Amino acid sequence: MTYLDNAATSWPKPPAVPAAMRGMIEHAGGNPGRSGHRLAMKAGETVYACRENLASLFGVSDPLRICFTSNATESLNLAIKGSLEPGDHVVFSAMEHNSVWRPLRELERCGVRISMVPAGANGIVHCDSIVSQLRRDTRLIVLIHASNVNGALNPVEEVGRIARDRNVRFLVDAAQTAGMVPIDVEAMKIDLLAFPGHKGLLGPQGTGGLYVHDSIRLQPLKHGGTGSDSDSPVQPEFAPDRYESGTLNTPGIAGLNEGVKYLLRHGVAEVQRRERALTERLLAGLAEIQHIHVYGPANAGERTGVISFNIEGRDPVVAADELDRTFDIACRAGLHCAWLAHRTQGTDQTGTVRFSLGALSTEQDVDAGLAAVRTLAQKGKR
């Protein structure tokens, strides 16, 4: 199979990822932080090693500010619901995923005031638009780093400076950039960074995390056992325990650790360089095919390898199904859990076909996808 659905989950994984997961289950299956025996200690060491490696990847000075979650959606919910109270104001963009849009709409019902910033037709949000929406009661800015619909990269570093100058918390959704685009939370002045483990970080599904700046104390989503302060009736104040009630997905974190180690060895900048070259190849090939409309920035330097397109006269869901059944191409069609972004680019009634590249994608993957689209486009106009 030709896999072009890395924006949903990366595949294939480096071989060390499943090997580490099996090894954790077979040889170190204790509960981290819950017991003092060797199996539990080994599990705890693996969890902490992953925190350290994630901290290195994101420029975080204290690994304990990395809190594990089950996915980016949980991380975003923790950051948003843990930051805002009735009467607070939040600014977000018209390119956000439902993992931001839906929690904010729920909080709006409870008295949180929300302001949506428009994006350009190419999906990029302009800093001036964000500044124009800031108010005295603005507590949080939420911005997707790169669109999961059309790959448009947003000016995170510039927005970070704006937020820091105005003493407003800045939450970045790095679902499409963690592991694919270099991120330094200190240089970019990011206060909260939500990321999944199963996409660009090359780990398994069921893993993710949230970086929380040491000046921030969030209200936790969950309360319960943390393996610490067990004699206290209230949740610990210190990170990461405050945000990690219950047993962690230790086999998943072991796999995630190997994915992050792969990225640290190869370098995220090199991963981005390769992905950008493949993106240019894919964009150039689609531009040569008649009856294809591509969305998002035309310049590969302004986007990631997430490319949405439509074939004139073809329903995108039907086209994606045919790409799978006839051409053995794995991709995703529809609204991609991001109706706001589709409304911005004018595809909210139809959706799009989406090809998305990953760290292990190849020129052969791109060329196979292009050949299949070319055949579909020609069939559709006969």
Encoded tokens for 235? 């949740």
Mean per-residue pLDDT, 268-290: 98
**Residue 65 DSSP class:** G
E-strand stretches of the chain: 2-3, 66-69, 89-93, 113-117, 138-144, 169-173, 192-196, 208-212, 292-294, 306-311, 329-330, 332-334, 352-356
Task: Read off the pLDDT of residues 365-376 as tens digits, 9 standing for 90 and up.
Answer: 999 999 999 999
Measured CA distances, 153 to 120, 197, 337, 355 (Å): 12, 20, 18, 16
Alpha helices (H) along 32-185: 38-58, 72-83, 98-109, 127-133, 156-165
pTM: 0.97
Q: For 78-90, b where at least 16 C-beta lie within 10 A, e where not — what string?
A: bbbbbbbeeebbb
Q: Is the pLDDT of residue 228 over 50?
A: yes
> What pLDDT score does 238 carry?
84
Q: Which of 12-26, 29-43, 112-126, 320-334 has the lowest mean pLDDT?
A: 29-43
Specify whether the CB–CB gap between 370 and 285 falls below 8 A: yes
Task: Read off the pLDDT of residues 73-125 as tens digits, 9 standing for 90 and up.
Answer: 999 999 999 999 999 999 999 999 999 999 999 999 999 999 999 999 899 99
> What pLDDT score does 236 carry?
87
Task: Burial-class residue 315 by CB neighbours within 10 Å (0-12, 13-18, 19+).
Answer: middle
Task: Read off the pLDDT of residues 316-340 as tens digits, 9 standing for 90 and up.
Answer: 999 999 999 999 999 999 999 999 9
Strand order in the sheet with 138-144: 66-69, 208-212, 192-196, 169-173, 138-144, 89-93, 113-117
Can you count the helices (H) and strands (E) in the chain? 11, 13
> What pLDDT score does 382 carry?
43
Task: Read off the pLDDT of residues 241-252 as tens digits, 9 standing for 90 and up.
Answer: 999 999 999 999
* Cα–Cα distance measured from residue 276 to residue 118, given in angstroms and rounded to the nearest whole number: 26
Q: Is the pLDDT of residue 202 over 70?
A: yes
Task: Burial-class residue 373 by CB neighbours within 10 Å (0-12, 13-18, 19+).
Answer: buried
* Cα–Cα distance measured from residue 98 to residue 197, given in angstroms and rounded to the nearest whole number: 18
> What pLDDT score does 182 carry?
98
Among candidate residues 310, 292, 298, the one with its CA nearest the CA of residue 348:
310
Band of residue 299 on the pLDDT scale cut at 50, 70, 90: very high
Domain with CATH 3.40.640.10 in the chain: 16-266
* Cα–Cα distance measured from residue 343 to residue 349, given in angstroms and rounded to the nearest whole number: 8
Q: Is the pLDDT of residue 381 over 60?
A: no
Secondary structure in 3-state letters for 179-205: CCCCCCCCCCCCCEEEEECCCCCCCCC
Question: CATH assignment of 2-10+267-380, given 2.40.10.500, 3.90.1150.10, 3.30.43.10, 3.90.1300.10?
Answer: 3.90.1150.10
- For the domain spanning 16-266, the CATH number is 3.40.640.10
> What pLDDT score does 186 carry?
97
Band of residue 29 on the pLDDT scale cut at 50, 70, 90: confident
Specify whether the CB–CB gap between 88 and 221 falls below 8 A: no
Q: What is the mean pLDDT of the chain?
A: 96
* Cα–Cα distance measured from residue 201 to residue 57, given in angstroms and rounded to the nearest whole number: 10
Domain with CATH 3.90.1150.10 in the chain: 2-10+267-380
> What pLDDT score does 35 carry?
83
